[in-house]
Amino acid sequence: MKKSSTLTTTTSMPASPTLSAQTLSASKISLNSSRCGSAGSGCGSASGSMRSACQSPVRPGSGCVDAIKAKREEIEMDTLLEKAKFYTSVCLGTTAILSVFTFLFLIPFVVDPAISTIIADYDPVPVTCIVIDHIYAEGIKNCSWSSCREGCTSSLTKCHQLFVNYTRIPFSEWERNPRDLDTVNWDVSYTKFLINSEGCGYPPTTNCSIFARQYGFSHIGEPFPCFYSRAYPEVVIGRYSWENNLYHLILSLIIPNVLFAISIGVLSYWYCPCCEKACNKSSRVYAEKFPTKEDKLLCHSDEDDDMEY
């Protein structure tokens, strides 16, 4: 009987170490879980969230997809803005170039005649004139000048040359009280008569055939209103308006130059680093950019508090 009990004991001994190892590992797991639970739910929640984030499938309504869509929309918006900036830059550059050429074109045709008209100082009140001679000539040699010319840069092959006498009596007064032409004391006699200050123009506003029929031929000796120059009394013209002259001069000076300045200004701000830095420069004084003593003390006190914590 003693031998059997001893055998039973020896046969049951190998199972005890295995059971104790399993029990030890289970106790360690329970101890770790109890520590994590005592420290707070942060450990479990963090691991759970990481697992759920990695294992859970991406749903269409999730925040990850919304972030990707927002990023794509932001990229598309940036691309659209870049395209708009490019085409706007092309338009601004074209506007600047056209403004320069337009201004150069307006100088001989609008600016120079307007300035010459201002310098001539025409009397705005029309006086009384009569045509005393009308010469029609053909050929460059015979047309040294012309009262009317269609095209200020064209060569003279046909010309109408009109000569007038004028008196400083206003034409409105002459109409109210006509005078005998033989008794009138003319201020200037046999002087050149021009359609305007330059003696030329462009259709349809300038038609030399109509001008010649209006003042010459059968209308010789008939009084009509004209404008004389107070700076050059021998210059007499048929068309003059101070308001229109000043209006065209201002438009021809302002519009091309303003368009050119705006175009170059915007392009310089976009593509010139120096201009962008100058525009975005801080308005603070140089000394204000450095911290004061109070700011330094406050900064050091905050650092000391952070060290204590």
In order of 51, 93, 104, the CA distances from 263 in angstroms are 58, 7, 17
Residue 2 forms part of a structural domain: no
Residue 15 forms part of a structural domain: no
Which residue range is the domain that position 251 belongs to?
A: 74-122+241-272
pLDDT for res 74: 79
Residues 189 and 267 in one domain: no
Q: Which of 166-180, 196-210, 228-242 has the lowest mean pLDDT?
A: 196-210
- Are 226 and 236 contacting, i.e. CB atoms less than 8 angstroms apart? yes
d(CA 184, CA 195): 24
d(CA 215, CA 223): 10
Q: How confident is the model at residue 53 (pLDDT cuts 50, 70, 90)?
A: very low
What single DSSP character describes residue 121?
T
Residues 150 and 253 in one domain: no
Q: What is the pLDDT of residues 122-177, one digit of tens each?
A: 999 999 999 999 999 998 888 989 999 988 887 888 899 999 999 999 999 999 99
Short-list 164, 106, 107, 110, CA closest to 135: 164
- What is the rounded average pLDDT of the residues 101-122? 92
Residue 62 forms part of a structural domain: no
How many alpha carbons lie under 13 Å from residue 2 in its C-beta half-sphere? 0
Q: Please state whether the peptide bond connecting residue 204 to the residue before it is cis, i.e. omega within 30 degrees of 0.
A: yes
Composition of the chain by helix, strand, coil, percent to 5: 60, 15, 25
Residues 235 and 129 in one domain: yes
Instruction: Give me the number of domains the chain comprises.
Output: 2
- What is the rounded average pLDDT of the residues 41-66? 48
Residues 128 and 232 in one domain: yes
pTM above threshold 0.85 = no
